[in-house]
Structure 1
Amino acid sequence: MDIATSEAPVGRMGDNVPLPDSRPRPRPLLLRWGKHLRGTCDRLIATSSLVPNTPVLDMRAFPWTAALRADWEAIRDEAIAAIGTQPGAPSLAAISPDHRAIAPLGKWRSLFLCGYGYRVDENLARCPHTSRLIEQVPGLNSAMFSILAPGTHIPTHRGVTKGLITCHLGLVVPRDGDVRMRIGSRTVRWAEGETLVFDDTYDHEVWNDSAHTRIVLLIQFRRPLRNPGRWIADTLLGVLRRSAFVQEARANLRRWHRGEIAADA
């Protein structure tokens, strides 16, 4: 099963619809000064963690993942329907300014359901079963369908804070090549209907060395913590939620839904 994500336009557009501004922008102040403090904050969060700080975590530590695995086919069907109809799924580089350096144009697309606590009601309404399931995730921060085109490599990158953990549910995983992710020194591969839980503050990179599209449901949720790590993580996430980093992405997503960003951006 394959979904076209780079060749066929999937959004509303016309000949005069502008591409997003690709000029380099200063990184948000939080992310710029945060590089100097992030190591300290992450270490304090790690010492307060109620789950291991390993690159890959045991999914059994997060019982809610069982509901995703049980209903993965229903989630997959909603994802395929939503991605395949207008306005479809935008390029991540067109929505999130901080991803423009690593997200190949039109090769890594995301259909957002929620981000940093902000709901995307248009997409939630298109995926009602998925919406009900993600509402059961404790500490939900963000959720989206992550769509990787054939032949795509996402270079090494890392998440913003150890206060978040990432879960992938495999929905469409090509079998005609090697579709994999390196997290730290480990290499993992997705399987349809299976969950992968990991700490994205470890350097990681992704390959889709196949002729077909990979789709996963990507969920970010708050790491279970005791204090003082919980206070630090909550403070950082609160600042991030209000930052230009998140607010610009929200504005770009609204522009996408109004057809003001080109579908192939």
Structure 2
Amino acid sequence: MAASRKWVREMADPSNDTLARLRSWMLLRINGRERPVSPPSPWQSGCPELLTGLRARPVWETAELPWLRPFEERAGEIRAELLALRSCRGFQPLKIPNWASSGKVASPDGAGSLSHDAGEWNVFYLSLHELPFADNRARCPVTVSLLAALPRPYDHAFFSALTPGTHVVKHHGPTNKKLRVHLPLVGVEGSRLRVADRTYECVEGRCFAFDDSFEHEAWHDGDRTRIVLVFDVWHPDLHDREVQFLSLLQRSRLRAEMKRAEAAAERAARGCAVANASLVAREGGGREEESAPLARGDNFFQLLRDAKNALPDNEWWV
């Protein structure tokens, strides 16, 4: 709370030009909004959070992002680490909370939502907002070292696998505060990505950077599983002080959600205990107790935990 008050005081100072964007951001929230009335581009109209004053480009030229060059230069090593994963577990189905996307597709198991309406979309996490993926990271030392060298990582990186025939429905990312980078590694033939009003063919070993606050959609019509390295970076227009504050806020929000997930897990465990006690009571003629139902699909960390062991093998990887 003390840190938050300090930041609010700094943002409220009209002479602080560095935090002018955050001042507008704060005023929006004071008025109960997370985005301006008119987005910078109509293609961003479905994005839930928009920070004003950032360049709104659907796609960014890699020449403007020199820190991408090492990923292309060492794409062969990254690919070798990826291919070694085929003999071990670690991939899991991509699940999103029910509230997180307007383009969601109901998950067949009722837990959370999907972003695809055909095929399979599986992911192998390397970093995700301070969550530990020690086993995954240990298997990919080159990839992890390149991610660690990024100047301003958003702390979200994973291998993304689409099986043949997969269609990722049109949707928006959660915010325009970041850029998303794809490095296609295997099975890219027949894979396409639309960002705003243009569709792009994937090129193996070449980075593709885009602003996923713009509406985007993907298809994989090839006959091999398409796998790309995906990672996010803070928007280049953000000042380091802005990134410092927004990172603090993001960590606070995610820690709160993680606590809610832990509390839900505890309630579920208590519910099992109550159910067992009820069974014993019924068999012994005693009073039956009931536990409150546990809502599914609204907590990101709960979905991650539940999906961790959902894939018994890698037979989906063709």
Q: TM-score range with shorter-chain normalisation?
A: 0.7 to 0.9
Structure 1 residues 197 and 182, CA gap change in structure 2 (3 angstroms): same
Structure 1 counterpart of 2:178, one-letter code: L
Deviation at 1:172, TM superposition (A): 1.1
Structure 2: how far apart are the matches of 1:119 and 1:137?
19
**Correspondent of 1:194 among 206, 215, 228:** 206
Contact 1:46-1:53 at 8 Å conserved across structures: no
Query: Which runs of structure 2 are paired with 1:76-155 in the superposition (5 Å)?
Result: 76-82=79-85, 84-93=86-95, 98=100, 100-104=113-117, 107-140=120-153, 141-155=155-169
Instruction: Please say which structure displays the higher CA radius of gyration.
Output: 2
Q: In 1, are the aligned partners of 2:156 and 2:232 still within 8 Å (CA)?
A: yes
Structure 2 residue 200 is matched with structure 1 residue 182: no
Deviates most, 117-126 or 229-238:
229-238
Report the TM-score when normalising by structure 2.
0.61
C-alpha distance in 1 between matches for 2:87 and 2:61: 35
What is the deviation of 1:186?
1.5
**TM-fit CA distance, 1:129:** 0.9
1:45 aligns to 2:59 (yes or no): no
Distance 1:192 1:230, change over 3 A: same
Q: Is the 8 A contact 1:45 1:229 kept in 2?
A: no
Gaps of 5+ in 2: 1-28, 41-49, 105-112, 262-298
Instruction: Indicate conservation of the 8 Å contact 2:119/2:167, yes or no.
Output: no
Could you tell me how far 1:209 is from its partner in structure 2?
Answer: 1.3
Task: After TM superposition, give the deviation of residue 58 of structure 1 in Å.
Answer: 1.4
Instruction: Describe the shift of the 1:115–1:227 C-alpha distance in structure 2 as closer, same or farther (beyond 3 A).
Output: closer
Question: Residues 131, 228 of structure 1: CA spacing in aligned structure 2 closer, same or farther, 3 A cutoff?
Answer: closer
Shift in CA distance, 231/136, structure 1 to aligned 2, threshold 3 Å:
closer
Q: CA RMSD in A?
A: 3.1
Q: Which has the higher contact order (CA 8 A, sep 6+)?
A: 1
Is the contact between residue 167 and residue 219 of structure 1 (CA under 8 Å) also seen in structure 2? yes
Distance 1:214 1:96, change over 3 A: farther
Aligned to 1:22: none
Residue pairs, 1:1-265, within 5 angstroms? 37-40=33-36, 45-47=51-53, 49=54, 52-82=55-85, 84-93=86-95, 98=100, 100-104=113-117, 107-140=120-153, 141-175=155-189, 178-224=190-236, 225-226=238-239, 230=243, 233-234=246-247, 237-244=250-257, 248-254=299-305, 259=309, 261-263=310-312
Distance, in Å, in 1 between the alignment partners of 2:159 and 2:235 is: 21
Q: Secondary structure of the equivalent of 1:113?
A: strand
Q: Aligned residues: percent identity?
A: 28
**Unaligned runs of at least 5 residues, structure 1:** 1-32
Displacement of 1:227 = 8.4
Name the amino acid aligned to 1:40.
Answer: P
Contact 1:45 1:228 in 2 (8 A): no
